[in-house]
Chain A
Amino acid sequence: MNLLVLLVIVAALAALQLVATRWVTVNRLAWMAVWWVAIYLGLAYGINPPLPSSIIVLFMAIVTLALAVYLSADSDELASAVQTVTAFIVEKRFRVALLTVLAVLPLLVALKVYTNLSNPPQPPSSSRTIHPPPPASIIFDGTAIDLATANNPYRELEHTDPAAFAQHVENGRRVYFENCFYCHGDNMQGAGMFAHGYDPIPANFNDPTTIAMLQESYLFWRIAKGAPGLPSESTPWSSAMPAWENFLTEEEIWDVIIFLYEFTGYEPRAQGMPH
């Protein structure tokens, strides 16, 4: 989100509204044009990282359609809108303005074509699904684990045996600092010493949209099966997330999951709630 840009847009809209109610009458069609432009500016400049242009075109098509539906829902509105357009085109007093518009629009189109052609071409960008639905079950070291019901077997120790739980946290810390921090960073912000060489970049566990909204069984799947376990909408071919079943035991994986939550202060999402 680029809050500043969005604020400016909202402020401009509000100011226009004020002017319109006080001093001049702005007709419905003009209002719709203003909205259209405001939404476009918001999408194009108000969002960070920027949306791909194909997505913006898609959104704007929807917006255009919605505005058209809105206008035609009321036949008076529609008639008055049609009247305005007709007046602009046929009445003599608008002749100069009309000719200017007729001349300027093709020039704008030509300019757009020029900038499109002179921009360096962009490589195909992959939009990937970050949290695809997990499989129903996985095979770990020869045994099947049902992801819908699997629980972290050491989680309950937190209440029943804090000393034993602390040992699992410590073991998780060891696993993390032997294996994970090169990518996910020693502070779990996804900024490890090798993170700059991988694309997509490693997950940031401090971000509320990663482990904070996932179940422990989901993490178990992601950690055990890594990138190769992802479905194709999540671009398994480019993710650097290793399949830790090649290196770690089941207990070590549950322990490192406990450590991720302990270190970041988040709680895992309870079993049974949808992802």
Chain B
Amino acid sequence: MKQYVLFIAALVLPLGALGQDLGTPEQLQSGAALYEAKCAHCHGAAGDANSVATAYLRPAPRDFTSGQYKFRTTGSGELPTTEDIKRSIRDGMPYTSMPLWKGILSESEMEDLAYYLKTFSGDFDGPYGNPEVITIPRAPTYDEGNLARGREVFEANQCADCHGENGRGNGPSALDLEDEWGYPIRPADMTKRWTFRASATREDIYRTFTTGLNGTPMPSYQQTIDEQDRWALVDYVWSLSEDEPNYGTVVTAVGTAGALDISQGAALFADAPRAYFPIVGQLIEPGRSFYPGVNGIAVQAIYNQNEIALLLSWHDMTAEVDGANHPGLVVPPFDPATADTAAGPFSDALALLWPAETPDGLERPYFMFGDAKNAMSIWFTDLATDSAAVLMGRGSASIAATGATLAHYASYEDGAWTVIMKGPRQFDSGLYMAEAAFTPVSFSVWDGLNQERGNKRGLAAWYHLYLLPMETQSAALPMAKWALIALLIELLLVGVVHWRHRRSAT
């Protein structure tokens, strides 16, 4: 009798024999068609992540046959709910290739897909197919008073082992981590919350360490941290990052009368505004970089009469100061992912890219490494060495040394590189960085651990460096001048009209 009732229930409600939420045949059919058209090329026709794109992606597309989902409102090791899967589809996973489908698929289409994804794993209609939901309480307002306690909880639970002392993703265990499928995985950089996979509201941070991220080394602390401390920990993690990356387009250099003593390090740049730029993989020429190790770089600049100094800083899990690197190194056309632990013969490196000559109008060298017509001046430092040099680029295949060297400073501390390069405002090749003018500039970063060398690099588009004039002109004089001119024109007009009026009257 009971079975009979369940059978009826299964027909009427889209529920399995044990109350699992499995969707109707129509939903599954619609989900299958959508999956074929929109998802199979990454997640594989059989849902096993065996696809053309997988070799190029890190993290790899999810293998749905495993039943392991990062984003869940259920306990560690449990399956996700339909709503969880739907939310991952809707919001995507930032800074991975998993796109957000909001605005592209309708809510019901996403639901159909969520049901269809469940069919790839035998677990959803099995005995564990109806997981218990952990309700995430509403976040109390952010409280700075919590930070000290939050830091204690952070230390007591060894978050720093993986995430690093200051959350930059560089803890002592970070290097050895692998995900369920044997791919190397890096702990999240908590100072860049916009890169969190499963959203970054305070409730989400709470959920992440409460439920853990299945399939990854990120553990669940459901049993170990009590409610009060959880929100303290959330506030601490929250305090480590800005809300948004606020990507800039201009580095503003401030002027100073004195010498630029770069041995002071970052302190020299205390008054210079900081601009942050995205770094993405070089995908344009052979030696493509599909998963760059660095995703952003902060830049500050100061100048004096003759020289300019730039401070560049970025997060990097480890400092590779052995081996060598050079923009001219040749990379095979396809260089597959290697494990992070396999430290290669390549060191970390940085380049600042400039037009070799002052640009004529908008024209500038090809942003890759210059071209035959417009050469690029490359300020390059291999961080395994103690020097920086000026190279001349006329395309990726013709990068030559000029013999000129630059003053340079480099330090690596707690997951962050700080590099300063100082050179003349007037280049031998012709470029002059004038005050109150914009000079094109770009950046390239190599993460040696990620086998980056030569054209396999993290790069940036053309941006600008602006030299803020040392003496700002007061506005009073030009204002008075233009107001006076306006008044004169008016009086002239009035005079002429009066004169003509009187003449025509007589």
Contacts and interface: CB of A to CB of B under 8 A. Distances in A.
Interface of A: 85-86, 89-90, 98, 102, 105-107, 109-110, 112-114, 117-118, 121, 123-124, 126, 173-174, 176-178, 181-183, 185-187, 189, 191-194, 196-199, 226-228, 232, 235-238, 240-242, 246-247
A116 B367 CA distance: 32
21 contacts: A90-B501, A102-B490, A110-B480, A110-B482, A113-B479, A123-B250, A176-B41, A177-B42, A186-B38, A186-B99, A193-B96, A194-B280, A196-B280, A197-B280, A198-B461, A227-B284, A238-B367, A238-B461, A238-B462, A240-B283, A246-B286
Interface of B: 38, 41-42, 51-53, 56, 95-97, 99, 101, 104, 247, 249-250, 278-281, 283-286, 290, 333, 362-367, 371, 374, 436, 438, 459-462, 464, 466, 473, 475, 478-480, 482-487, 490-491, 493-494, 497-498, 500-501
A241 to B, nearest CB: 8
Given A123-B464, A182-B290, A197-B279, A242 B284 contact: yes
A165 B335 CA distance: 32
Nearest to B362: A126
Nearest to A197: B280
A246 B56 contact: no
Given A178-B52, A181-B97, A237-B364, A114 B280 contact: no
Given A89-B494, A106-B483, A182-B281, 15 more contacts: A90-B497, A90-B501, A106-B490, A109-B483, A113-B482, A113-B483, A126-B362, A173-B41, A174-B52, A187-B38, A187-B101, A228-B366, A240-B284, A240-B461, A242-B284
Given A177-B41, A187-B104, A191-B99, A124 B362 contact: yes
Contacts of B285: 242, 246
A69 B97 CA distance: 58
Contacts of B486: 105-106, 109
Contacts of B478: 113, 117
Nearest to B40: A173
Nearest to B364: A237
Nearest to B55: A178
Nearest to B439: A123
Contacts of A85: 497
Contacts of A118: 475
B440 to A, nearest CB: 9
Nearest to A87: B501
B280 A198 contact: yes
Contacts of A199: 461-462
Contacts of A113: 475, 478-479, 482-483
A174 B42 CA distance: 10
Contacts of B53: 177-178, 181
Nearest to B366: A237
Given A117-B475, A181-B53, A237-B365, A106 B462 contact: no
A191 B366 CA distance: 23
Contacts of A89: 493-494, 497-498, 501
A166 B437 CA distance: 55
A118 B478 CA distance: 12
A228 B371 contact: yes
Contacts of B459: 197
B280 A86 contact: no
Contacts of B438: 121, 123-124
A185 B491 CA distance: 61
Contacts of B367: 237-238, 240
Interface SS, A side: helix
A198 B374 CA distance: 20
A236 B364 CA distance: 9
B247 A196 contact: yes
Nearest to B465: A123
A117 to B, nearest CB: 5
Contact of A106 (B249, B250, B484): B484
Nearest to A239: B367
A197 B482 contact: no
B42 A186 contact: yes
Contacts of A105: 486-487, 490
B66 to A, nearest CB: 21
B249 A237 contact: no
Contacts of B371: 228, 237
Contacts of A227: 284, 366
A90 B487 contact: no
A194 B482 contact: no
A109 B494 contact: no
Nearest to B437: A121
B362 A235 contact: yes
Contacts of A182: 97, 281, 283, 290
A227 B395 CA distance: 13
Nearest to B491: A102
A183 B99 CA distance: 12
B394 to A, nearest CB: 13
A177 B51 contact: yes
- In the A-B complex, the 9 residue pairs with the closest CB atoms: A197-B280, A106-B483, A194-B280, A199-B461, A110-B483, A106-B486, A110-B479, A123-B464, A197-B278
Contacts of A226: 284
B97 A186 contact: yes
Contacts of B436: 121
A174 B364 CA distance: 35
A182 to B, nearest CB: 6
Contacts of A117: 473, 475, 478
Contacts of A177: 41-42, 51-53
A163 to B, nearest CB: 17
B467 to A, nearest CB: 10
Of A235, A236, A237, the most chain B CB neighbours within 10 A belong to: A237
A117 B481 CA distance: 14
A90 B493 CA distance: 12
Contacts of B278: 196-197
B363 A114 contact: no
